[in-house]
Amino acid sequence: MENIFDGLKVMIIDDSKTIRRTAEMLLQKAGCEVITAIDGFDALAKIVDNNPDIIFVDIMMPRLDGYQTCALIKNNANYAHKPVIMLSSKDGLFDKARGRIVGSDEYLTKPFSKDELFDAINRYRA
């Protein structure tokens, strides 16, 4: 099971330290290089510096929420092809629909399991 995602760069954008830490530990054990960001503004600079392969973004964040962050990523020609997976504590149809409108590729409900996280990555990694 170790290093199944060797060398894959994954970004986790979430204002919850617990979610960032949990995802980071799971992903690093699987061989990923993990970049974390506390909100959309923090993430946008780090995306340019790190060019992640897959981006997970929390919907509910201060300053720049997940929808705005996703829209900014998808509207940038350099990053429009990057898979963006929304994270939410609500499993709502409205949230899913709104995520699709701004270009998200998938939607995971928190708390997500290791399997759900890995399945999402498997669906989108190149």
Give pLDDT tens digits for 66-114.
999 999 999 999 999 999 999 998 877 888 899 999 999 999 999 899 9
What percent of the chain shows pLDDT beyond 90?
Answer: 83
- Name the pLDDT band for 3 (thresholds 50, 70, 90): confident
Q: Are 53 and 10 in contact (CB under 8 A)?
A: yes
Name the pTM for this structure. 0.94
Long-range contacts of 74-79 (CB under 8 A, 24+ apart): 74/102, 74/103, 75/103, 79/47
- Name the pLDDT band for 126 (thresholds 50, 70, 90): low
Q: Tell which wins on pLDDT, 94 or 31.
A: 31
Return the pLDDT at 93: 83
Return the pLDDT at 2: 64
Tell me the average pLDDT across 44-52. Answer: 96
Could you tell me the sign of the dihedral formed by the alpha carbons of 95, 97, 99, 105, in that order? positive
